[in-house]
Amino acid sequence: MFPVYRIASYLDSCRRHDVITNSAVLSWFSEAKVQNSCQENCNIVVSLNQLKNDDIPPLIDVFLDIDSSDIDAFHVRHHGTTSVLNEEHVFSLMNAIKLKLRLTLKKDFLRDFFNVGIPCCVLKLRSNNIQKLDMIGRFMRLHTLNLDFCTSLTSLQKDCFSCMPSLMHLSLCETRVANLWTTTEVLAKLPSLLELRFQNCLC
């Protein structure tokens, strides 16, 4: 559920930071409100291309205050060829979410994201153009990771899951990971793993 007061919280935060409200952000929250009223899953799509650096601090205030029961997923997207956003601002924003992330980011953002890590619990990287899974950052709270349809992914690096001690659910369907011997060796280092999905569907 997405309470209406979150929109009011965003407006208040913009006033505190002396920032003009972003109409795109208001539309994200309004869409979440509609989903809530229709009893649908509540997903907020955060398009980085629609943000300026000044937009980030008010959003951080709101996201820090959102409970995991309010939102089913945050989908953070960035498709532009250039970015006007400071990367530290972007990582601060994602750190404020700390919940259920779905990421569709450019390679440079993903690379930095993998190196830094984030305290989210659910991370969906479906359909990203990932060729090398070097997730060496800290993902200490992560319990669910979805890499389905990352068709450029051919192998898993030896220590790619070394900073994910809580990972319980891993999905690798429709990737090109094929070396079962190496893959098994990598997965054996996940002490909490309970569920593995590893399927190619030939349709």
Rounded-to-integer distance, Cα 129 and Cα 110, Å = 10
Query: pLDDT (tens digit, 0 to 9) for every residue of the chain, 203 residues total?
Result: 455 557 889 999 999 999 999 999 999 888 887 877 777 778 888 999 899 999 999 999 998 887 666 678 888 888 665 557 888 888 888 888 877 888 887 777 788 888 888 888 889 888 888 888 888 888 998 999 999 999 899 888 888 888 899 999 999 999 998 887 888 888 998 999 999 998 876 54
For residues 143 and 98, the answer to whether their CB atoms sit within 8 Å is no
Helix axes 87-97, 107-116, angle to 10 degrees: 60
Matching residue, tokens 């997903």: 43
The sheet with strand 43-47 has its strands ordered as 43-47, 73-77, 100-104, 122-124, 144-146, 169-171, 195-197
Record the pTM: 0.80
The residues pairing with 145 across neighbouring beta strands, listed in sequence order, are 123, 170
